[in-house]
């Protein structure tokens, strides 16, 4: 039975508290934690946005946002407690507005933990930190949460980190990557370092290669303008996929202390072989979806989704990317990590596949033997699967079959899994930054990504079309085929 430990009283200020993220993720996450009794009566949630909103109108808006988004029945008793916490403050963060209205709902005596959650455009991060400081709202116990993306490239990320770092100590800064809040990602630590079985095999000697796939069935939809400026490499690889790669490739941290884990992750990031213009064609593939069928429904292509909106000049934005990443260190030298992510793919699927090497010699004659495979499934199902060669039961010959050993988390544990945002918000309120990215991680990731973007530009690497509902462009299969390998998921 899960135990829900309450957090200390807090004031949580959400800049962008009327936005899509607040509506779909943050407010439902907070409501769930409140319903499990983790918040004190005097804890508050303060939303900031430019729109004029009476208190009652904001409360109604939140209620609408929650109904239908929270798990189970809408509990009116929890709602009346939650509604008491809500405040709305009208401020234009980009303007020189008077910030005194923001101080009003906050505890002036320092009894409550103060958290500033920046669910706004990253271009506002530095300004907001500076204004908070000028308004005297930052003390040693305050924390600031930065939503992704932190910047658009290395230079902008560094400028944001400098501006926020001028006001907040690094220990007070929580840079979110919601993948680090996912149950299976946490379980990578448990699997690797809570069992003696895997660690000796977790290296180039036994592992042929690793595949990390984050496939989505949704398109860019309403976020076309954002995507047009961003693309899949910046949106998904710079953060989520590199974090997954670090979690599975890092050395054993000395403890679960946040800096022990982050110190190991940054070593992986720094050991990533740069993808240069010279080899970019052979180790990367960009794709863009065209119209197709997803989940038996016809869907539009990326270009049609943009409609008549003004598109920036660099219109060849990728909605899919596949990469061959190499880690130049003792453990992984010669063992490639193939990364692939895309929108409008055949189905939603995130998994990490460890493909082990074949046996050195078969005693079973002509019978094909499939090398072992360890699959860490992130979504939609969460679990771990290990395929083993076994003998088919029965008389009359010795027939070999590959069978999976399955650990399916929902079957094994009878608890509801909190959404990643629930876990991450609670970690911020508890003051544990282990599941958040440190400044050096973000900057090292951008350096590696910028190099790829520069290489694409200098070699004029264009996107390849793939049909919505497929597993990506043909070239992404060629990427592995060239190395005599194939993706774990079918074409
Ligand atoms: N939506 C998502 O699923 C995810 C979003 N993110 C990131 O989170 C951030 C917010 O995203 P999202 O919620 O989708 O964006 P939205 O455009 O839906 O919401 C933006 C919010 O910020 C407020 N806002 C914008 N400009 C100002 C300003 N100058 N002063 C005060 N408030 C302002 C808006 O209110 P108003 O217009 O009334 O001022 C609104 O509340 C983005 O950086 C995005 O990349 C990250 C991961 C996932
Ligand atoms: O950060 C982002 O993540 C989502 C995918 O998150 P998931 O938890 O549903 O896997 C992605 O759709 C979005 O483009 C990106 O900004």
Biggest CA–CA distance in the chain, Å, is: 85
Active-site positions? 240
| Beta strand pairing call for 337-342 and 207-215 | parallel
Supply the residue whose CA is at minimum distance from atom 3 of ligand 2. 236
User: Would you say 481 is a known binding-site residue?
Assistant: no
Pocket of ligand 2 (CB under 6 A): 148, 178, 216, 235
CATH numbers and ranges of domains, the chain: 10-175 (3.40.50.720), 180-418+463-481 (3.30.360.10)
Pocket of ligand 1 (CB under 6 A): 16-21, 48-51, 91-94, 119-122, 147-148
| CA dist., res. 134 & res. 41, Å (int) | 29
User: Would you say 267 is a known binding-site residue?
Assistant: no
Ligand 1 centroid–CA 92 distance in Å is 12
Ranges of H-type helices in 335-419:
409-412
Supply the residue whose CA is at minimum distance from atom 9 of ligand 2. 216
Contact 268, 245 (CB under 8 A): yes
Ligand 1 centroid–CA 214 distance in Å is 24
Ligand 1 atom closest to the CA of 122, numbered from 1: 43
Closest CA to 186 of 427, 22, 11: 427
| CA dist., res. 193 & res. 13, Å (int) | 37
Supply the residue whose CA is at minimum distance from atom 4 of ligand 2. 236
Q: Residue 133 to residues 15, 118, 123, 198: CA-CA distances in angstroms?
A: 15, 15, 17, 48
User: Under the phi-then-psi rule, with left for phi > 0, alpha for psi from -120 to 50, and beta for the rest, what region is 426?
Assistant: alpha
Q: Which residues contact 389 (CB under 8 A, 6 or more apart)?
A: 369, 370, 372, 400, 401, 402, 403
CA angle 480, 486, 488 (to 5 degrees): 130
The one-digit pLDDT tens for each residue of the chain (491 residues) are: 567 889 999 999 999 999 999 999 999 999 999 999 999 999 999 999 999 999 999 999 999 999 988 877 899 999 999 999 999 999 999 887 788 889 999 988 889 999 999 999 999 999 999 999 999 999 988 999 999 999 999 999 999 999 999 999 999 999 999 999 998 888 899 999 999 999 899 999 999 999 999 999 999 988 888 899 899 999 999 999 999 999 999 999 999 999 999 999 999 999 999 999 999 999 999 999 999 999 999 999 998 887 655 554 446 899 999 999 999 999 999 999 999 999 999 999 999 999 999 999 999 988 899 999 999 999 888 889 999 999 998 887 888 999 999 888 777 776 666 789 999 999 999 999 999 999 999 999 999 999 999 999 999 999 999 999 999 999 999 999 999 999 997 55
Residue 26 gets which letter from DSSP? I
Q: What is the pTM of this model?
A: 0.94
Ranges of H-type helices in 403-473:
409-412, 420-430, 439-459
Residue to probe by mutation, ligand 1, list 49, 61, 223, 240, most atoms within 8 Å of CB:
49
Ligand 1 centroid–CA 419 distance in Å is 20
Q: Which one of the ligands is nearest to 215 CA?
A: 2
User: Would you say 155 is a known binding-site residue?
Assistant: no
Between the two ends of the chain, the Cα-to-Cα distance in Å is 41
- The H-or-E segment that residue 294 falls in is strand 292-294
| CA dist., res. 287 & res. 232, Å (int) | 9
Contact 174, 428 (CB under 8 A): yes
**Phi and psi, residue 275, nearest 5°:** -95, 110
Ligand 1 centroid–CA 46 distance in Å is 15
Ligand 1 centroid–CA 47 distance in Å is 12
């Amino acid at each position: 039975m899960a135990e829900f430990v309450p957090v200390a009283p807090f004031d949580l200020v959400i800049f962008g508290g009327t936005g899509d993220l607040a509506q779909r993720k943050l407010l439902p996450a907070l409501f769930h934690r409140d319903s499990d009794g983790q918040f004190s009566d005097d804890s508050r949630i303060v939303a900031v946005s430019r729109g004029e909103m009476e208190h009652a109108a904001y409360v109604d808006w939140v209620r609408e946002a929650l109904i239908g988004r929270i798990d189970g029945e809408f509990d009116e008793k929890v709602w009346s407690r939650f509604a008491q916490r809500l405040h709305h403050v009208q401020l234009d963060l980009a303007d020189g507005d008077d910030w005194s209205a923001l101080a009003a709902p906050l505890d002036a005596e320092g009894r409550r933990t103060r958290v500033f959650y920046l669910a706004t455009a990253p271009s506002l991060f530095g300004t907001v930190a500076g204004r908070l400081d000028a308004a005297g709202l930052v003390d040693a116990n305050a924390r600031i949460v930065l939503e992704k993306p932190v910047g658009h490239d290395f230079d902008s990320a560094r400028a944001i980190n400098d501006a926020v770092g001028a006001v907040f100590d690094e220990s007070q800064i929580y840079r979110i990557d919601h993948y680090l809040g996912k149950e299976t990602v946490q379980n990578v630590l448990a699997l690797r370092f809570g069992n003696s079985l895997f660690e000796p095999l977790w290296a180039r000697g036994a592992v042929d290669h690793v595949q990390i796939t984050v496939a989505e069935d949704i398109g860019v939809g309403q976020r076309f303008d954002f995507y047009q400026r961003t693309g899949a490499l910046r949106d998904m690889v710079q953060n989520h996929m590199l974090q997954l790669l670090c979690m599975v490739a890092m050395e054993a941290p000395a403890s679960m202390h946040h800096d022990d884990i982050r110190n190991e992750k940054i070593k992986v990031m720094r050991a990533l072989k740069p993808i240069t213009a010279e080899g970019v064609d052979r180790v990367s593939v960009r794709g863009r979806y065209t119209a197709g069928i997803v989940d038996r429904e016809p869907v539009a292509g990326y270009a049609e989704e943009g409609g008549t909106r003004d598109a920036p000049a660099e219109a060849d934005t990728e909605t899919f990317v596949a990469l061959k990443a190499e880690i130049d260190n003792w453990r992984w030298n010669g063992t490639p990590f193939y990364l692939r992510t895309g929108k409008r793919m055949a189905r939603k699927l995130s998994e990490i596949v460890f493909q082990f090497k074949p046996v050195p010699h078969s005693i079973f004659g002509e019978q094909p033997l499939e090398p072992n495979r360890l699959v860490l499934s992130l979504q939609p199902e969460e679990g771990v699967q290990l395929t083993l060669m076994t003998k088919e039961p029965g008389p009359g010959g010795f027939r070999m079959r590959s069978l999976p050993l399955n650990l399916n988390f929902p079957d094994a544990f009878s608890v509801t899994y909190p959404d990643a945002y629930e876990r991450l918000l609670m970690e911020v309120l508890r003051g544990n930054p282990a599941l958040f990215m440190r400044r050096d991680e973000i900057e090292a990731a951008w350096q590696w990504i910028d190099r790829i973007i520069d290489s694409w530009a200098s070699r004029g690497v264009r996107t390849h079309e793939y049909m919505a509902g497929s597993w990506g462009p043909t070239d992404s299969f060629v990427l592995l085929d060239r190395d005599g390998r194939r993706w774990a998921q079918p074409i």
